[in-house]
Structure 1
Amino acid sequence: MSKHNKLARTSSMLFGTTLLLVTTILSGCSSNANNAGTATGSPTAGTATESSNPGTGIDHSKPLTINVFDNAANYQGEQTGWYGKLIKDKFNITLNILSPQVAGDQLYKTRSASGDLGDLLIIDNSQLEELIPAGMIMDITDKIKNTEYLSKYVDNHFKPFNTAFESINPDGKIYALPTFTSDTSPTTFSEELPYSSPLMPWDYYKGIGAPKLNNLTDLLNALKQMQAKYPKTPDGKPIVPITLWKDWDNGSMENVRWLSNWYGYEQPDGTSTLQLNAKGDIVPLVDDNSMYKKILQFYYDANQMGLVDPDSPSQDWNKVSEKLTNKQVLLLWYSWQRGFYNTIERGNKGDGNVAIPIADTHIIQNSDAYFGNGRVFAIGSKAKNPERIIEFMDWLSSPEGLRYYTNGFEGFNYEKTADGKFKLTKVGQTAFQDNTPVPDQYGGGGYQDGQSKLNTMIMSDFVVDPDTKEFYNSTYWSSTIEANKTVLTTEWQKAYNATTPTEYYQKNNMIDIVPNINTSLGSDSSDIKNKRSQISDDVKNTSWKMIFAKDQAEFDKLWTKLQSDVVGLGWNDVLAVDTERAQKIVKMRADAIANK
């Protein structure tokens, strides 16, 4: 998913059907909306050919291309396919996506230096801090007051987020809308599976006797057994126990970062030199006892056993996603990765990726993103027709906009049931994996190809649809839960005596749910930014070398050299900044718990 937890968190189906929102799993970072009328199933139901929208008085007669600078996107260029047709017909707009994940980080530097990042911006909190003082973000306080849907979230969600930037926003203006905002509570975790936890194919795991996993050594041994018994897919493709990829690495090695969560340590966004646990303990990344080192050791051990995909140093996320779709990977660790393979049809055969708990893990999990999750929607100060952009953003947060983004078309992907709720169609269950052809009336092309390339939302799928009284996230529709009672589901539930993995981890005291803090942690000075960049490069490069070291002696030597080298690059200065930021998170979490 995109970089870190900033990626859109999708939670594909537990054991069976795949969630259509898994479009967001393509983001090279994770895992929602409100009401703009009922989706009719036809993208031509809007006002594309009308001169104005009677409800807003906005003139749509002239085509408008919106340049979207989008950190979440893993696609660059014009939004085409069914989603492109939908918004063209409805608003007479075309989205032109500018993606740093595709074009590289230099894109941000170049465009921000020019004073015009774009019209619609989907950027990180830290970038917002730079752009507001630079006069590159539009004040939208008055513009969202009269919106139909966004206005509902101003007081409890948008205003608290914006006022946290008090040093650069003393008047409490609204400059940005945080992404993936839920409407549950600051201390609720709604998902049935933690964001990062061990996942494996149930049939293969059973095939080696479903051994109890007490620790990471047991996990490696189980993977070795599965590798020996299941070396290839039915069509002859090689199966790898563990596959890694570099293109999501940011401050550190991303695949190491997220496995650290299994043992209670997270690396907060906005930091790159430390890890933090639920108690508030702060451990430097290069400390000999850090969880970062422990996970590096795990990957090194795995590689020594021949369990790490040899393609890892050279492949990108797109190649990895192909392997996931083909069931060529034995160990998964992001909840949404199941969406590449799991379906109800396969679940009825006992086939699919499921949670396989490891007894000594103690997961750290952020609560629902009540205040958003690290990125924002904003409007560039030089944007033309900001009213039309606001109208589009308002629709994104409406029931209609959310239904299209998360679940596609009524009548194609899902249908109404007799009780007025929704149910995925047979097509809808696999439209993403199969890239199912979309009828011409919806825009044609493949379903996955045509999904929203924004790859993120303002309100999340953990918002209740006012019509169905259920989350937009189709995993949690009553119809899905019923349909998902497959052989895979029932066997897992019987084996672990729990309804969901989250319930299992909670019952067995194997998870800490901490308030999801989304705030301004401060931006780096030019000196710290330069030091952080050099340190991060050294950490990432050395991490990869350590995993593929020829022996333990080389592994240890590389680690010792890293510890020494980063000090020379200004480690202590960057660590001091990150420690202050982590302490702010600790305090805000304590306040959220006290005030819940």
Structure 2
Amino acid sequence: MSRSRNVVKKSMTVSAVGLFLVSAALTGCDSGSDNAPASSEPTGSGANTGESQNAGTVDHSKPITITVFDNAANYQGEQTGWYGKLVKDKFNITLNILAPQVAGDQLYKTRTAAGDLGDLLIVDNSQLEELIPAGLVMDMTDKLKNTKYLSQYVDNHFKPFNAAFDKVNPEGKIYGLPTFEADTSPTTFSEEIPYSSPIMPWDYYKGVGAPKLNDLNDLLNVLKQMQAKYPKTPDGKPIVPITLWKDWDGGSMENVRWLGNWYGYEQPDGTSTIQLNAKGDIVPLVDDNSMYKKILQFYFNANQMGLVDPDAPTQDWNKVAEKLTNKQVLLLWYSWQRGFYNSIERGKEGDGNVAVPIADSRIIQSSDAYYGNGRVFAIGAKAKNSDRIMEFMDWLASPEGLRYYTNGFEGFNYEKTADGKFKLTEVGQTAFQKNTPVPAEYGGGGYQDGQSKINSMIMSDFVIDPDTKEFYNSNYWSATIEANKTALTTDWQKAYGAENATDYYLKNNMIDVVPNINTSLGTDSSDIKNKRSQISDYVKNTSWKMVFAKNQAEFDQLWAKLQKDVDGLGWKDVVSADTAKAQKIVKMRADALAGK
């Protein structure tokens, strides 16, 4: 998404039954978060004036606006709605978000050239490595000592991450706090379904006989059958088997990249020319045997069969999100996409999107993001209210901050049970999908509209809530698990003989869980950066042309031309740089497995 599109795409809170996107491509000892303080008071709250956290107080009397430069944001402008009111009431802060995903990548270049990226920064690892020597980010080492919540993660999370920037940070100072960090272990995978795997509406799939899927051709055939039987939603909206969108494309075509994971190959963060498997094999994208070409062929075949959304070449993600909410798409591949439609109430009717495994697939899946997932929170070097920003970040990692971000309001989205745990309310089960109106006392407006536009966290929802001793992720609350024993889940479990999708893939030896690796893989030289940019643009443009080629001959011609033309753009040099990055990942994964 400089947008780290090779990390979590559009990470966002999705209350499906509270389904929440956490880690992704390069993610993965308990640090004792269940012993964290339970107080919900923000760090340093008090009546004294002044900006000194060292004094234990932060003055909130003066309203301030914090400029948030945010690679994760899908929205640009002032944070409004219920989250905006919450932050305003609690900290007297207004968040003004600058979003490269909205304004374009040039925003980063322009603001860094001017010497001021912003006050609060959510940037990619590679950008942090540029910002440290440029003097554009603040050293947070001492400030973290005075925090209430972040301080408990310094030794096990923040220091190891920042130490990897040794070339530009030889003293091991803390300049960035990784995003979406789990508090499980570097080799645990906690989620019920892999980040990317085939997902389809269970009722529609059963409606055409639920045939076993042996390969991608079987998948296309069943999508064709579902399209014929279910051409429109009950209210007359057209249903498309496969939908695509361009605005997430980074070094390659993003919708191609993630399906490569189904067959064991990922495109590591910071690279654009190679794919890597669990064994450490490295394959260039334009190799005839690459998984990238295999998935391009899959999409081309789908389009030839009339299965690809005709809006795909021109629509953006927001349009896709509408279609997901309306159950207008038959094939999903991000785990969190289920959250746009699934709910417990629909599940009782056997209605919802579920994993539908393909027999010849072998998924590559990173473990929980113990060290984060490719981005960092940082403070701009010229920030005038750094103590108030640090206080706000500390609150983000507090039980209260995590609950608001992941699950909304107690009493509205969820409530306490007799045993002191939480359960979703009826409203909370569908507040995101329905954009349910929020009571005026919380700020009014629609729930989805008012969610945090920062769209990122420091600690993730795979951290234990000290009050409930359960994850903040409401999918894993005991009450949700019990409530979710619906016709949808029980029918799926009976059909596949597994507790959930991850369990199925593990039992059938169809998944490789690799250790989470979150580090800086080094910044490109100006020469490599220029070559990468030209190659990426060419690969993306050609990929889209190949999907919509008029016939196989044109598809093959475009591929052959791509292979030839990228050589003239410096392909071998960029592949060499990316191979070095991948080899670092391979070594670090081996070290993690060896317990180093």
Task: Provide TM-score, normalisation by structure 1.
Answer: 0.95
Checking the alignment, whether the CA contact within 8 Å between 2:6 and 2:268 is kept in structure 1 is no
The answer for the alignment partner of 1:275 in structure 2 is 275
Return the alpha-carbon distance in structure 2 between the equivalents of residues 49 and 96 of structure 1. 26
Q: How far apart are residue 561 of structure 1 and its match?
A: 0.2
Return the alpha-carbon distance in structure 1 between the equivalents of residues 505 and 302 of structure 2. 25
Q: How far apart are residue 69 of structure 1 and its match?
A: 0.1
Checking the alignment, whether the CA contact within 8 Å between 1:11 and 1:191 is kept in structure 2 is no
Q: How far apart are residue 4 of structure 1 and its match?
A: 3.1
The answer for the alignment partner of 2:97 in structure 1 is 97
Q: How far apart are residue 50 of structure 1 and its match?
A: 8.5
Checking the alignment, whether the CA contact within 8 Å between 1:344 and 1:429 is kept in structure 2 is yes
Return the letter of the residue paired with 2:297: Q
CA separation of 1:395 and 1:130: change in aligned 2, threshold 3 A: same
CA separation of 1:448 and 1:532: change in aligned 2, threshold 3 A: same
Answering whether residue 2 of structure 2 is matched by residue 3 of structure 1, we say: no
Return the alpha-carbon distance in structure 1 between the equivalents of residues 226 and 587 of structure 2. 44
Checking the alignment, whether the CA contact within 8 Å between 2:27 and 2:515 is kept in structure 1 is no
Return the letter of the residue paired with 1:237: K
Checking the alignment, whether the CA contact within 8 Å between 2:83 and 2:452 is kept in structure 1 is yes
Q: How far apart are residue 5 of structure 1 and its match?
A: 2.5
5 Å-filtered alignment, 1:467-506, equals 467-506=467-506
The answer for the alignment partner of 1:112 in structure 2 is 112
5 Å-filtered alignment, 1:552-591, equals 552-591=552-591
Return the alpha-carbon distance in structure 2 between the equivalents of residues 37 and 451 of structure 1. 24
Return the alpha-carbon distance in structure 2 between the equivalents of residues 508 and 571 of structure 1. 38
The answer for the alignment partner of 2:452 in structure 1 is 452
Return the letter of the residue paired with 2:149: Y
The answer for the alignment partner of 2:365 in structure 1 is 365
CA separation of 1:9 and 1:243: change in aligned 2, threshold 3 A: same
CA separation of 1:52 and 1:345: change in aligned 2, threshold 3 A: farther
Residue 307 of structure 1 aligns to a residue whose secondary structure is coil
Return the alpha-carbon distance in structure 2 between the equivalents of residues 217 and 530 of structure 1. 38
Checking the alignment, whether the CA contact within 8 Å between 1:432 and 1:447 is kept in structure 2 is yes
Return the alpha-carbon distance in structure 1 between the equivalents of residues 432 and 344 of structure 2. 13
Return the alpha-carbon distance in structure 2 between the equivalents of residues 481 and 216 of structure 1. 32
Answering whether residue 18 of structure 2 is matched by residue 19 of structure 1, we say: yes
The answer for the alignment partner of 1:441 in structure 2 is 441
Return the letter of the residue paired with 1:587: K
5 Å-filtered alignment, 1:343-354, equals 343-354=343-354
CA separation of 1:48 and 1:490: change in aligned 2, threshold 3 A: farther
Return the alpha-carbon distance in structure 1 between the equivalents of residues 502 and 334 of structure 2. 14
Checking the alignment, whether the CA contact within 8 Å between 1:21 and 1:405 is kept in structure 2 is no
The answer for the alignment partner of 1:188 in structure 2 is 188
Return the letter of the residue paired with 1:435: N
The answer for the alignment partner of 2:56 in structure 1 is 56
CA separation of 1:584 and 1:20: change in aligned 2, threshold 3 A: closer
What are the superposed Cα offsets for residues 183-228 of structure 1, whole Å, 9 maximum, x if unpaired? 1001000000000000000000000000000000000000000000
The answer for the alignment partner of 1:266 in structure 2 is 266
Return the alpha-carbon distance in structure 1 between the equivalents of residues 297 and 487 of structure 2. 36
Checking the alignment, whether the CA contact within 8 Å between 1:263 and 1:291 is kept in structure 2 is yes
Return the alpha-carbon distance in structure 1 between the equivalents of residues 305 and 81 of structure 2. 45
Q: How far apart are residue 57 of structure 1 and its match?
A: 1.2
Q: How far apart are residue 134 of structure 1 and its match?
A: 0.5
Return the letter of the residue paired with 2:109: K
CA separation of 1:48 and 1:333: change in aligned 2, threshold 3 A: farther
Return the letter of the residue paired with 1:6: V
The answer for the alignment partner of 2:125 in structure 1 is 125
CA separation of 1:443 and 1:384: change in aligned 2, threshold 3 A: same
What are the superposed Cα offsets for residues 54-87 of structure 1, whole Å, 9 maximum, x if unpaired? 9931111101110000000000011111111111
Return the alpha-carbon distance in structure 2 between the equivalents of residues 236 and 101 of structure 1. 32
What are the superposed Cα offsets for residues 467-519 of structure 1, whole Å, 9 maximum, x if unpaired? 10000000000000000000000000000000110000000000000011001
Return the letter of the residue paired with 2:111: R
Q: How far apart are residue 38 of structure 1 and its match?
A: 5.3
CA separation of 1:455 and 1:462: change in aligned 2, threshold 3 A: same
Checking the alignment, whether the CA contact within 8 Å between 1:344 and 1:484 is kept in structure 2 is yes
Q: How far apart are residue 3 of structure 1 and its match?
A: 2.3
Checking the alignment, whether the CA contact within 8 Å between 1:48 and 1:90 is kept in structure 2 is no
CA separation of 1:484 and 1:266: change in aligned 2, threshold 3 A: same
Return the alpha-carbon distance in structure 2 between the equivalents of residues 151 and 306 of structure 1. 55
What are the superposed Cα offsets for residues 395-447 of structure 1, whole Å, 9 maximum, x if unpaired? 00000100000000111110000101000000100010111111111111111
Q: How far apart are residue 21 of structure 1 and its match?
A: 4.0
Residue 197 of structure 1 aligns to a residue whose secondary structure is strand
Return the letter of the residue paired with 1:388: R
Q: How far apart are residue 51 of structure 1 and its match?
A: 6.0
Return the alpha-carbon distance in structure 2 between the equivalents of residues 235 and 56 of structure 1. 57
Answering whether residue 386 of structure 2 is matched by residue 401 of structure 1, we say: no
Return the letter of the residue paired with 1:499: E
Percent identical among aligned pairs is 79
Q: How far apart are residue 48 of structure 1 and its match?
A: 10
Return the alpha-carbon distance in structure 2 between the equivalents of residues 372 and 11 of structure 1. 17
Residue 142 of structure 1 aligns to a residue whose secondary structure is helix
Q: How far apart are residue 146 of structure 1 and its match?
A: 1.6
What are the superposed Cα offsets for residues 541-575 of structure 1, whole Å, 9 maximum, x if unpaired? 00000000011000000000000000000000000
What are the superposed Cα offsets for residues 529-549 of structure 1, whole Å, 9 maximum, x if unpaired? 000000000000000000000
Residue 226 of structure 1 aligns to a residue whose secondary structure is helix
Return the letter of the residue paired with 1:420: G
Flag structure 2 segments of 5+ consecutive residues without an equivalent.
none
CA separation of 1:500 and 1:52: change in aligned 2, threshold 3 A: farther
Return the alpha-carbon distance in structure 2 between the equivalents of residues 424 and 549 of structure 1. 47
CA separation of 1:20 and 1:494: change in aligned 2, threshold 3 A: closer
Return the alpha-carbon distance in structure 1 between the equivalents of residues 556 and 243 of structure 2. 23
Residue 365 of structure 2 aligns to a residue whose secondary structure is strand
Return the letter of the residue paired with 1:514: V
Residue 88 of structure 2 aligns to a residue whose secondary structure is helix
What are the superposed Cα offsets for residues 354-391 of structure 1, whole Å, 9 maximum, x if unpaired? 00000000000000001100000000000001111000
Q: How far apart are residue 152 of structure 1 and its match?
A: 0.3
Residue 6 of structure 1 aligns to a residue whose secondary structure is coil
The answer for the alignment partner of 1:240 in structure 2 is 240
5 Å-filtered alignment, 1:208-357, equals 208-357=208-357
Flag structure 1 segments of 5+ consecutive residues without an equivalent.
none
Residue 182 of structure 1 aligns to a residue whose secondary structure is coil
Task: Provide TM-score, normalisation by structure 2.
Answer: 0.95
CA separation of 1:101 and 1:10: change in aligned 2, threshold 3 A: closer
5 Å-filtered alignment, 1:166-205, equals 166-205=166-205
Deviates more, 1:48-57 or 1:234-243: 48-57
